[in-house]
Amino acid sequence: MTKDFKQAALDYHASPTPGKVAIQVSKPCETQQELSLAYTPGVAEPVREIARDPDAAYLYTSKANLVAVITDGSAVLGLGNVGALAGKPVMEGKGVLFKRFANIDVFDIEVDAEDSQAFIDTVTRIASTFGGINLEDIKAPECFEIEKTLIEKLDIPVFHDDQHGTAIIICAGLLNALDIANKNIADAQIVCLGAGAAGVASMRLLLALGAAKQNIYMIDRNGVIHSGRDDLNPYKQEFALDTDKRSLNDAMQGADVFIGVSGPDLVSEEMIASMAANPVVFALSNPDPEISPERAHKVRDDLIMATGRSDYPNQINNVLGFPFIFRGALDVHARRISEAMLLAAVHALKDLARQAVPQSVLDAYGREQLQFGPDYIIPKPFDPRLIDVIPPAIARAAVDSGAARKPYPPHYPKPGAD
């Protein structure tokens, strides 16, 4: 990062007012009559309705379009455990993305919690304010138990974006890449470098999409996760294989797919060269991938590659998912994000990448042409069709899986329509 960019980033956050988000009043309050409606005595009427029927809060308050973005600051970007307050700029940034891409309002909440239970208790006590909760930047393995417990306790969607958001985008891109490479997910040998939130969630979702558990080699700091190890938490244990492979180098030999959610420069050119024909390489460590596209393409001219960066083709970017997933969930007053909703998001993204790209997207990225193929396996974040495609898919899946309080919205495309 250059000194000029650092200063530009600080200036952006400081001026003309500190921070990136604000609250605005959504109803007129200019006259005595409007004031009496906004507050006392008129406010008593919706209070009575909500006291009688809690679901009336969706009709009379901002709950229906309000998401909490909540962190404990224990795993902020690549900066680690910087603490709750230092994570606030990132949480505000998520608020910007929610509003910009899906017109969803956000309160960012930074929780100083001494342990997972304290965090869970805090979120539980404030949850009734919101229509959904986006957990963010919470370290593994605590994030798994936190999310699981909150899902069980609450009747609104709880979504840890570092788990499921990343998993959805990875899986959508991977299905397309495997199709281009003429490979089947059920047969593909998959190496996942990184056994934290993103790695575990992505492999779980791939299993739901048809991957074979015996073909998934998950790697952590101590090498291949295998059945002979006695240092595995329950989440890693799910992926322990009975195998003689011990190192990343061993696992990469003959692999069809590499997914990196770990750190920079951990994959060598020799490892890429040892993979099967037409390999798929998702090197997603950001800003510096596990192996750069330049080095990977140097040894293989038959690979399909994605990174987490916007300056290379095939960026795996969570903004393709979470704003639109919550949009669909909020529009049917969902109680949870079901697996069916996650899978619906995967297939909606996968299918959108196969359609003709609008001129507005080409203009935004300075391209004359983009079409489905090795350098375009996932839609671009500024594709205006995302808001038209993903929320309806989520809403349909929510209704069909019993996760919704409301029927499929009448302003959405009819189920089954092209």
Write the pLDDT tens digit of every residue in 210-264. Answer: 999 999 999 999 999 999 999 999 999 999 999 999 999 999 999 999 999 999 9
In this structure, how many other beta carbons lie within 10 angstroms of the beta carbon of residue 10?
10
Cα separation, 162 vs 279, in Å, equals 25
Cα separation, 390 vs 113, in Å, equals 34
Helix (H) or strand (E) holding 219, with range, is strand 216-220
293, 258 contact by CB (below 8 A)? no
**In whole angstroms, how far apart are CA 182 and each of 188, 206, 229, 256, 296?**
11, 17, 35, 11, 20
Q: What is the pLDDT of residue 417?
A: 57
Q: How confident is the model at residue 416 (pLDDT cuts 50, 70, 90)?
A: low
- Tokens 């992926």 belong to 239
Burial 50-70 (b: 16+ CB within 10 A, else e): beeeeebbbeeeebbbbbbbb
- Distance between start and end Cα atoms, the chain: 45
Verify whether residue 60 is a known catalytic residue. Answer: no
Q: Which of 84-88, 128-132, 184-188, 310-314 has the lowest mean pLDDT?
A: 310-314
Cα separation, 325 vs 116, in Å, equals 26
In degrees, to the nearest 5, what angle opens at C-alpha 372 toward C-alphas 368 and 377? 110
Write the pLDDT tens digit of every residue in 140-153. Answer: 999 999 999 999 99
Verify whether residue 39 is a known catalytic residue. Answer: yes
Write the pLDDT tens digit of every residue in 285-298. Answer: 988 999 999 999 99
DSSP 152-198: HH-SS-EEEIIIIIHHHHHHHHHHHHHHHTT--TTT--EEEE--SHH
Cα separation, 102 vs 67, in Å, equals 12
Cα separation, 339 vs 382, in Å, equals 26
Please tell me whether residue 402 adopts helix, strand or coil conformation: coil
Q: Which of 58, 63, 88, 94 is catalytic?
A: 94
Cα separation, 191 vs 205, in Å, equals 15
Cα separation, 303 vs 278, in Å, equals 5
Would the pLDDT of 418 be above 60? no
Q: What is the pLDDT of residue 414?
A: 80
- Tokens 């090498």 belong to 223
Cα separation, 206 vs 170, in Å, equals 9
Domains of the chain: 17-156 (3.40.50.10380), 164-307 (3.40.50.720), 318-400 (no CATH)
With both helix axes pointing from N to C terminus, report the angle between 142-153 and 197-208 in degrees, rounded to the nearest 10: 60
Quick one: what percent of the chain has pLDDT higher than 70?
99
Q: Which of 39, 153, 213, 365 is catalytic?
A: 39
